Amino acid sequence: MKSPTALLRSPAAPPPTDGSAPGVPFGPSGDRPVRPRKVTLQYVVELVGSALSALAIAWLGFTIAGVSGPLGLVIVWLILFFPIYAVVSWRAHGVLLTKDRVATVAVWLGGIIAMVPLVAVIGYVILKGAAVALGDFPHFFTSDMTNLTATAPSSAVGAGAAIVGTVEQVGIAAVLAIPLGILTATYLADSRSLFSRTVSYVVDAMTGAPAIIAGLFIYLFWVVPRGISGKSGFAAGMALAVMMLPVVTRAAQEVVMIVPGSLREAALALGAPQWRVMLRIVLPTARVGLITAMILGIARIAGETAPVLFNAGGNSSYNWNPFSGQQDNLPFRIYQLIFQPGVNVIKDAWGVSFVLVLLVLILFVFARLIGSSKPGQRRIPRLRRAPSPITD
């Protein structure tokens, strides 16, 4: 008995008209090639061979022309790679699989290129600051900057006060901006009125506003009327909330809008009020996306210096009360350290930078853990009531 592939290849079935090679497996319909689910050795050989061929041609051209430059060589290499790989794939697999493979390689290459600056920045900060922060662990994470001098070693200072200030200020900004941003996003997703369009324009304008504008706004609104006592962690948190609000609103709006309308219609048809539909159906369904919106908002404000510079004031020692007195902050502390003389002070700045990157990564992981469960799944199980006895 013939195999299904053989039957599809039988004369009774129409021949392929898409330019595919004879050895490519076909799908159930017999008219389109099947995309391989695993990376085969042939795929790797074709990809690596095309890359090496393009690199050899680019290097030969640069050598003959007497041109030098790593960046130019890489650009020419990529320009030559795609047509070479397309020709090799077309001769081996046909037109359709060639389009698919070239597009796949382009997407992966774009992702890798986008990751290179991020990995380079984080890697350089870790390289320069990890030795300072972890050299006398956990001293650098618990001490403050009261003993800071031009010649003071890194073992005499620490980023503890700045860590406390950053966590409290970002927490205040999150408490203020996240609920308001999600409420605004649900309103913009469900309303098409003139007022909602006006709010949407304002949100777009706030998204592109410079950080110093938010800092000056809170400084004039909160700090100036109170004088020197107006500078506090709470004032810095409000300035960060102004920056965080449009980011959370726009990201949450896009997530809420893609929730299927059939879920809302089914809940409304069962008699649920609009607020309960939004609270129990829409928001839990979009929870993962909302967590992503919160992460984007935190990433937007975690490294800002200008709002903190105007409103927190900075403090070399610990200040656990964000509502009274000036408070330190990690980006603000880095800004102050890089303008002070001394080699040890610059090392301290790299150590504080490492602590900032580590703190942001911890916040991201924590937020992902909160939003990793599926809609309807609870991290803390609900207490079950005992069943009531059945009476006759």
Distance CA(145)–CA(336), nearest Å, equals 11
Residue 249 backbone phi and psi in degrees, to 5: -65, -50
Question: What digits encode the pLDDT tens for the residues 222-262?
Answer: 999 888 788 999 999 999 999 999 999 998 998 888 888 88
Which pLDDT belongs to residue 373?
Answer: 56
Residue 365 has pLDDT above 60, yes or no: yes
Helices (H), the chain: 4-8, 41-65, 70-93, 95-134, 139-142, 160-190, 194-207, 211-218, 224-226, 233-257, 261-269, 274-277, 283-285, 287-301, 306-311, 330-337, 343-370
Q: pTM for the complete prediction?
A: 0.73
Instruction: Map residue 26 onto helix, strand or coil.
Output: strand
User: Which residues, including other chains, have CB under 8 Å from residue 301's CB and lie 6 or more apart?
Assistant: 170, 173, 240, 243, 244, 307
**Could you tell me the pLDDT band of residue 372, with boundaries at 50, 70 and 90?**
low
Across 197-201, average pLDDT? 90
Residue 391 has pLDDT above 50, yes or no: no
Which of 75-89, 141-155, 314-328 is predicted with the least confidence, judged by mean pLDDT?
A: 141-155
33: which strand partners? 26
Which pLDDT belongs to residue 54?
Answer: 92
Q: Mean pLDDT across the chain, nearest whole number?
A: 82
**Could you tell me the pLDDT band of residue 11, with boundaries at 50, 70 and 90?**
very low
Question: What digits encode the pLDDT tens for the residues 13-67?
Answer: 444 444 444 445 544 444 555 666 677 888 889 899 999 999 999 999 988 888 8
Distance CA(370)–CA(364), nearest Å, equals 10
Where are the domains positioned within the chain?
Answer: 1-34, 38-126, 141-370
Which pLDDT belongs to residue 37?
Answer: 67
Distance CA(310)–CA(325), nearest Å, equals 14
Q: How crowded is residue 182: how many other Cβ atoms within 10 Å of its Cβ?
A: 22
Q: Report how far apart, in Å, the C-alpha atoms of 199 and of each of 94, 171, 188, 190 are.
A: 52, 25, 8, 13
**Could you tell me the pLDDT band of residue 192, with boundaries at 50, 70 and 90?**
confident
Which of 6-15, 46-55, 62-71, 102-111 is predicted with the least confidence, judged by mean pLDDT?
A: 6-15
Residue 177 has pLDDT above 90, yes or no: yes
Instruction: Give just the sign of the alpha carbon dihedral 178, 183, 184, 188.
Output: positive
Across 190-199, average pLDDT? 87
Please check whether the domain covering 141-370 is classified as CATH 1.10.3720.10.
yes
Which of 64-68, 75-79, 347-351 is predicted with the least confidence, judged by mean pLDDT?
A: 64-68
**Could you tell me the pLDDT band of residue 314, with boundaries at 50, 70 and 90?**
confident
Residue 386 has pLDDT above 60, yes or no: no
Instruction: Map residue 313 onto helix, strand or coil.
Output: strand
Which pLDDT belongs to residue 274?
Answer: 81
Across 4-14, average pLDDT? 46
Which pLDDT belongs to residue 377?
Answer: 52
